[in-house]
Structure 1
């Protein structure tokens, strides 16, 4: 009976296309009515739709199957012939084969509306779910794990989308893991509509698992040994698309290439090994980069970087960097020679000339260093080096000079999750040990240790915690401390230390007298360093966050006549997560000091 009513309405619709009512002069013609809540508003000659009953997921699926709605009489006529079948398909796709539709079609002043009331009934559920494997995948841990954790289980409501996803995921997993001959041998979904039950049977025959074969490089002038050192697998390694991704990342990260394309060829496999072809494009011979920056510690800064990513066919590279600022201008040179791996094992030659302010001391530094940097499989970076340092400075109205030859070792490890410029969680740790001795050419005998820890975590979506800890110690004779170069002493204060105070202005002080007899207290740095910080951040917009913090600690000496002077500051800040990294505006107040000094700090860059 319902079908006949639909046909009758369709005939009226078709006839109505040729009957155009002229409005009486001075009166308004029929006006489209705004859609009611839950309806789609019709255009002139179209139709509005309202769906009620059932779950929200069922209603949304029905609307999706009936979209787009008709916008003219001809489309409306076709829609009224097919909407019931499409709505039933929407219910059945989610396992409701016993559902009924209660439609109501109305026409008011030329506006058509269709109201569907859903009575979904009981859903169809799986009675048996059988997924079988043939071939080498039967012994593959990844496939075994997938079968042990199927998203479809007996008793679940039938969902055709989940069923199709399961089939696709088995085939996709096979391709990812090198089962290029895999196929779905059996693919049955048996439906018993009378008893409202479904049975699923899938049989995936993976065939053999292929291995990775030889890697061929095209259009590269680099020595073959350098190229092969960047291949993360040996021929015969079981195929996995992750290995292809690792190779791509290794080549890009080396800086040797402007473009990289890695193409495995399963169709050319021989003896079960898939050859891999790599097409690469060389980078520009030289590149020059100009940059501008600002931070409260270093003021305005202009930097230039000259890079030569490939000096010769052996993969040597160089980077020359110049920075001009009011506080610490410097010029540095870094020359890298790949050893066993261009990224993970390098011989480095470095040189630096610069000037830096340490409290009230201006220091000129001349430095050269040779070392070996290695990155382990677990992400730790180890550097073994020999550093030569010549430093000039003025202190106590006297010009001083010291020189050092210090072997050292450092370890660094960083892990993070989330966007690199604003990670949700992460932990960075750096440890450095150096030793200088007169027998090696140093002005004093000194042993140094420095540890720097940085951590961030986000316990809740809008709430973030950032913390850091800096610790340092110099082992040196008391009578030689005054002659220690400023860059080897410890100072506190500044953007990355204790906010509310100037850059490297905190630490042990000394009273000096100038030529006119005036006495001045200056900061001369300490033997030890201990500074900690805890900061709470709240995201009040996606790219904006409010911060409040406390910083505490100092650089100090330990002796019987002086107590440790612990300096503490508190403050607030506003941070904008910009495309180049967080830009932080913080205001710190030195609450531990009698006059409560305060200072504005502007910094750019992530905490890790």
Structure 2
């Protein structure tokens, strides 16, 4: 029985020790308050104390020693090596209180250590690299306060630049941060041996379904060219932009590297995108009402990278079906391609009823400066009623177009602009029922000020010339009014009218809009706007229609969701308010 009694006594003793420790921890928990510091000094000291886990210490002497160490470490990182610290304890909490006892430390940081010299010597090919010469300019100036974080960041920037530019064997041969506390002086002494700069080797791809000669033009560097990480990143981006692959990763293959000549081949692992992609959607806008969309896409149909898609949109006022076949050109698959298109479009809006069939073949060039240029040939037949006119018109017309969109800032950009220009020419000479030419121009600009203010400007201009205007399809005539035109008026409700008072469509269009947005909170913005313009037959004999209003914008992940209320200004025939709901890009 004696062993059992002794073992029980041991357990009882351990239980009392644990219980006592718990009681001490509850009674003598501490917190610290730092005074005398501001800005980065205070933030760094508090971060250092938080990282040390000193809240678990319950003995006063040990707690104060750890706080002293944490404060000194936090200040030393920012160049203050000799601070003066004064400690004072707050009153002990009342019996049973859960509030910790507070230790206040008043800090006088003293004079900082200053950098009196900083040097980076370079050996290897980087010694003649202009980018490293630029990097040298980031060394601290004589007399600047020592900052250990800046020292470590500078070393990382040297190594990062070396890696980006292909100095894969680079290393620091000297890495010294000397500090004299007595003189309060510090010196950076760095030496970096970059070794030789490596060069791009041949690029190979595996796992892909597209012919190699279609992928080669996507490579933005030549075999033997000095290695540069941005060019490798551009290659990966180019592969992603084709839409042919669900995954495309190209990286240096050091296992196959030519060490003697410092050449590293690039190896690309490709995963084909799914052969069939189906998308459906539901939307709503005031102009079109409820809208249902569906799309079937085959991102690649053969080893030449051709793609096929069918799309359909159904709303109460308009229904469309479109098919397109894209054929990239081998010499520049991303920038140059042919697009064959066919479509059906039914419209029943205001005084317009139309059934349209169209075919088109268009050649596209995507330019390096962001402009897209296209030249195409269109065939169209439209059986329509516009007001009191019934007609069937067939058109054969070439088109030339230029457009560019630029933006920064995601789905609701803080900076951007867009421009679109097109010219259509139809002649009986090449099979059209009528002669006409039409010019269209649209533009938008977004600028931001002081982070919370946005200005958006838009314009649209159009001009049709034809001696047979009544036979021009309604889709090519001009109407104004609606969300992206003149708010306060119904969608496409402004144009000249015929003898029966029905909308006829116009030969000229000119509209402009200015909108101011203010960030209220988070993703919510308020808006105030004014729109003006008109669709007429003669721009020199018109009285512009003007609408103004207020709105709300919500910055959703897929673009701004908008709610506007507007009314016409100075128009005795239109005095009511109009509401607009929409989702979509602003450019």
TM-score by length of 2: 0.91
Q: 1:602 aligns with which of 578, 581, 587?
A: 581
Change (3 A) 1:18 1:310: closer
Mark the runs of 5 or more structure 2 residues left unpaired by the alignment: 1-16
Unaligned runs of 5+ in 1: 1-16, 22-28, 31-41, 513-520
Gap change, CA 1:75 and 1:177, over 3 Å in 2: farther
Q: CA deviation at 1:164?
A: 0.8
What secondary structure does 1:276 align onto? strand
Q: Is the 8 A contact 2:351 2:387 kept in 1?
A: no
Residues 43 and 131 of structure 1: is their aligned pair in 2 closer, same or farther, counting only changes over 3 Å?
Answer: farther
Of the structure 1 ranges 65-74 and 278-287, higher mean CA displacement relative to structure 2 is found in 65-74
Aligned to 1:117: 106
Cα deviations by residue, 1:339-389 (Å, 9 ceiling, x for unpaired)? 033322111100111012464121211110001111111111111111111
Give 3-state SS (helix, strand or coil) of 1:493's partner. Answer: coil
Aligned to 1:65: 48
Matches within 5 A, 1:192-231: 192-231=180-219
Residue aligning to 1:406: 397
- Aligned residue for 2:571, secondary structure, equals coil
Secondary structure, aligned partner of 2:502: strand
Structure 2 residue 36 is the aligned partner of structure 1 residue 53: yes
Question: Is the partner of 1:468 in helix, strand or coil?
Answer: strand
Q: Distance in 2 between matches of 1:308 and 1:441?
A: 34
Matched, 1:567 2:556: no
Matched length: 562
Structure 1 residue 329 and structure 2 residue 313: aligned? no
SS at match of 1:226: helix
Contact 2:388 2:498 in 1 (8 A): no
1:284 aligned partner: 274
Does the CA-based 8 Å contact 2:210-2:304 persist in structure 1? Answer: yes
- Aligned partner of 1:577 in structure 2 is 555
**Separation in 1 of the partners of 2:18 and 2:272?**
69
TM-superposed deviation, 1:81 = 4.2
For 1:151 and 1:510, locate their aligned partners in 2 and report how far apart those are by CA, in whole Å.
76
Change (3 A) 1:80 1:321: same
Task: Please tell me whether residue 522 in structure 1 is matched to residue 535 in structure 2.
Answer: no
CA distance in 2: counterparts of 1:131 and 1:113, whole angstroms: 47
Cα pair distance change 1:75/1:506, threshold 3 Å? farther
> Which one of the candidate residues 477, 482, 495 is aligned to 1:489?
477
**Cα distance in 2 for residues equivalent to 1:44 and 1:260:** 60
Which whole-Å CA distance do the structure 2 matches of 1:601 and 1:287 have between them? 32
Q: Report the Cα distance in structure 1 between the residues aligned to 2:387 and 2:406, rounded to whole angstroms.
A: 45
- Any conservation in 2 of the 1:44–1:72 contact (CA below 8 Å)? no
Aligned to 1:536: 516
Partner of 2:171: 183
Distance 1:241 1:146 in 2: 17
Partner of 1:510, secondary structure, is coil
**1:498 corresponding residue in structure 2:** 486
Q: Distance in 2 between matches of 1:71 and 1:147?
A: 43
Query: Pairwise CA RMSD of aligned residues?
Result: 2.4
From 143, 146, 157, the equivalent of 1:155 is 143
- Aligned twin of 1:87: 71
1:391 partnered with 2:382 = yes
Distance 2:492 2:90 in 1: 79
Corresponding residue number in structure 1 for 2:263: 273
Q: Distance in 1 between matches of 2:128 and 2:533?
A: 58
On the 8 A contact 1:262/1:278 being kept in 2, the answer is: yes
2:110 counterpart SS class: coil
Most deviating of 575-584 and 303-312: 575-584
Aligned-partner SS, 2:498? strand
Cα distance between partner residues in 1 of 2:63 and 2:224:
58
Match of 2:541, SS state, is coil
Q: C-alpha separation between the residues in 2 aligned to 1:168 and 1:571?
A: 53
Equivalent residue for 2:300?
310
3-state SS, counterpart of residue 393 of structure 1: strand
Cα distance in 2 between the residues matched to 1:383 and 1:43: 77
Partner of 1:7: none
CA offsets 1:132-182 (integer angstroms, 9 cap, x no match): 22222233232222223x152111000111011111111111101111111
**1:358 and 1:486 in contact (8 A); partners too:** no
Separation in 1 of the partners of 2:504 and 2:280?
35
> Structure 1 residues 446, 141: closer, same or farther in 2, change over 3 A?
farther
Question: Does structure 1 conserve the Cα–Cα contact (< 8 Å) formed by 2:112 and 2:145?
Answer: yes
Cα distance in 1 between the residues matched to 2:146 and 2:241? 47
Deviates further, 526-535 or 129-138: 129-138
Separation of aligned partners in 2, 1:452 and 1:18: 78
Q: 1:173 to 1:533 in 2, by over 3 A?
A: same
Distance in 2 (CA, whole Å) between partners of 1:73 and 1:550 is: 65
2:226 is aligned to 238
| Alpha-carbon distance change, 125 to 71 in structure 1, aligned in 2, over 3 angstroms | closer
After superposition, where does 1:330-345 map in structure 2 within 5 Å?
A: 330-339=320-329, 340-345=331-336
CA deviations on 1:3-56 (whole Å, 9 max, x unpaired) are: xxxxxxxxxxxxxx89969xxxxxxx99xxxxxxxxxxx965421101111333
Is the aligned partner of 1:460 residue 2:428? Answer: no
> Which residue in the other structure is 2:14 paired with?
none
> Which secondary structure state, in structure 2, belongs to the residue aligned with residue 108 of structure 1?
coil
Residues of 1 paired with 2:18 and 2:270: CA distance? 66
Are the aligned partners of 1:359 and 1:506 in contact in 2 as well (CA < 8 Å)? no
The SS at the match of 1:412 is strand
TM-score by length of 1: 0.88
In the alignment, is the contact (CA less than 8 A) between 1:550 and 1:568 conserved in 2? yes
CA distance, structure 2, for counterparts of residue 201 and residue 281 of structure 1:
48
